[in-house]
Amino acid sequence: MMSRILILVFLFGFVLMAKAEDRKFIKPNNQLIEFKGALFIQKSDQKVIISRHSKSMLEHPQTFMVAKKANTQSGVTICFSCNSSKIDVAFEKRNDADSRQNVFGVYKNGEFYKSINGLTFTIDNQEKKESNNWEIVLPTFSGVNFLGLKIDNKAKLFPVKKETKPVYVAIGNSITHGVGQKGAAYLSYPFLLAREKNWELYNLAVGGSKISWPVAQLLKDIKVDVITVLWGYNDWNSTFLIESEIKPYYKKLLLELRKVQPKAKIYCILPTTSKSLTPKNGSDSLDDIRDTEREIINKLQAKGDKNLFLIEGHKMTTVDDLNDAVHLSVDGAANFTKHLLKEINSSK
């Protein structure tokens, strides 16, 4: 009896070892894994650290962003092509970043596949195919480091199909960052817009931020085709003064964006609908902020900027689109995207 038990234990251990040997580790810095939507990427055998902003920009005295929020990765996508029947994906919490819901969106061959919660997960793929293209969309408000993959022992990675797309940069606060869409960046309006237009997205928005012109300096070394700007709510809701702070900062932002991206189409979205009618500090209305931004945009257009466009964000959103006092819900973000598409498609 004892010998039979020992044999069974041995066989069970052997099976476990065999199963373990059927899997192999793919280092996070493997050259066939691509990282899209981030301007600053640090790769090593142990981890890949993905940043949307530079440390120097975040430290600038007129960058009104909290670094822990900026170090999250809304809009960032990890892409690879693989023929494994099972893919284990591993991340770790980034210590210098905010950490809320770890909701990842997985796309297979360009189509939404599933939503996954947690820092480690497995993608099951039993479909027999030479290879499948996978995209893993990182969470909205949770900073993570990529630790690598495990795939079938006989499987391998393939080069990701190259596609040249127009580059789209989204700039703004938490509305653009994606707050309100249940932690899923793939449900935010910049991601939906980029997907519909087949654009390559860089979402530089940061929750809680105020108008920060230094963000334009991040775009000096890349070619950008489309930029959206949606800023002003937090400025209005704080102690920022219209004449001495909001007006000069917003104007400088647009001038700096035009300087570094002379040919890009810039869509300036005035603050969207809010249930809040009075700010926490001050007596200005949100319409006062809209009037200020509209005036600056109109003057720059009058000076000959034909690629600068005004979008009345509050006329494209209602309180029914909101998840709270100001943030768009999942349905609200989808509705807002439809309106933006119409505006952008009709612009000349």
Q: What structural domains does the chain harbor?
A: 25-158 (2.60.120.260), 167-346 (3.40.50.1110)
Distance CA 99, CA 145 (A): 12
Q: What is the pLDDT of residue 128?
A: 59
Quote the pLDDT of residue 277. 86
pLDDT at 346: 93
Q: Which of 341, 260, 347 is nearest to 310 (CA)?
A: 347
What are the tokens at 93?
């919490």
CA neighbor of 236 nearest in space, from 250, 246, 249, 247: 246
CA distances from 155 to 24, 85, 109, 149, 310 (A): 9, 8, 18, 12, 50
pLDDT at residue 287, as a whole number:
96
Residues of the chain with pLDDT under 50: 1-18
pTM for the complete prediction?
Answer: 0.93
pLDDT of residue 101: 87
In the prediction, which pLDDT does 347 show? Answer: 87
What pLDDT is attached to residue 21? 57
Answer yes or no: are the C-beta atoms of 79 and 36 closer than 8 Å: yes
Residues 6+ positions from 37 with CB-CB distance below 8 Å: 52, 73, 75, 76, 77, 200, 201, 202, 203
Specify the pLDDT at position 4.
45
